[in-house]
Amino acid sequence: MTKHRPARHILTLGRGVAAGLLAAAVGLVAGAPASGARAADHPLARTLAKALDASRAQRSVYWTGTTSANGATVVERTNAGVSRGTQTVTITVGARSAGTIEIELFGDTVYMRGDSADALLFQGFTPAAAAAEVDQWISIPSNQPFFQGIAAGLTVKSTVQELDLTAPLHRARRTSVLGRRVVGIEGTLSLEGVTGPATLYVPSQGKPLPVEETMSGGGIGLVTLGRWGEPIRLGAPPSAVAFQPSWVEPTGGVAPSTPSRPVAV
């Protein structure tokens, strides 16, 4: 099949949390800090700051991100730890499956495997490389620019970065998520140069660990978060071939985002 440019574009938006949140999807990039609101000691800014601080103190989080744009939908299921994490990304275009991508992070190396050429094309691989590397584990060290886009959202730190909102902040009307009473904080999220409105939902009682984030801007994204602090079981790194920069198409020095953030496809 020929490369689906519009669908790949949603991945470039961001979460990923959603590497794309959906960092468009797939690998979120950090939003700018809401320094202005915090300096003013706004009540919602204090709530946001407490939620981010509580999240950073956790050793793990499980999050699911869904982003839709341009006729494509990306779903990420992620276990993010301190320096390790796993992610399964499924991509559909209309009613057709475009494949699945498995990702595993071990410290300074991320491993990925696509089960179809289409899945690798969505990650920015050239047609030749996508066809040649199907079903092959690929190791990508952190000194490769491509690493950041693939690894986004696979650690607690990078996931929390995708939850930060910039001012002005407003209280959302919605007061419950999955049966839990919440405080909704509306603000702005910036992902991969794409900025749009987003809302972070935090429990109104108990630990202020975020349970959901919604966003728009180049696409519509939803991230649910939970199982904070649970152990992550990850075996040894898989046998893999070394990533070659020539396998991906030039993107101005920036790797394509994976289907994220948080995010914020």
- Cα-based distances in Å from 208 to 31, 75, 260: 19, 25, 22
Structure tokens at 167: 């001012």
Stretch 135-148: mean pLDDT, rounded?
A: 96
Helices (H) and strands (E) in the chain, counts: 7, 13
Residue 111 predicted with pLDDT over 90 = yes
Stretch 21-40: mean pLDDT, rounded?
A: 36
| Per-residue confidence (pLDDT) for residue 251, from 0 to 100 | 60
| Per-residue confidence (pLDDT) for residue 41, from 0 to 100 | 65
Please provide the average confidence, as pLDDT, over all residues in the chain.
82
| Per-residue confidence (pLDDT) for residue 192, from 0 to 100 | 67
Q: Name residue 246's amino acid.
A: S
| Per-residue confidence (pLDDT) for residue 124, from 0 to 100 | 92
Q: First-to-last CA distance in the chain? A: 24
Digit-coded pLDDT (tens) for 75-107: 999 999 999 999 999 999 998 999 999 999 999
| Per-residue confidence (pLDDT) for residue 151, from 0 to 100 | 94
Round to whole Å and give the CA distance between 139 and 240: 6
Round to whole Å and give the CA distance between 7 and 69: 7
Digit-coded pLDDT (tens) for 31-53: 333 333 444 468 999 999 999 99
The verdict on pTM exceeding 0.75 is yes
| Per-residue confidence (pLDDT) for residue 219, from 0 to 100 | 67
| Per-residue confidence (pLDDT) for residue 29, from 0 to 100 | 30
What three-state secondary structure class fits 207? Answer: coil
Structure tokens at 120: 């690798």
pLDDT-derived band of residue 190, with 50, 70 and 90 as boundaries?
Answer: confident
| Per-residue confidence (pLDDT) for residue 223, from 0 to 100 | 96
231 cis-preceded (ω within 30 degrees of 0)? no
Digit-coded pLDDT (tens) for 249-263: 876 434 444 433 332
Which domains, and CATH codes, for the chain? 5-247 (2.50.20.20)
- Exposure of 14 in the CB half-sphere (CA atoms within 13 A): 36
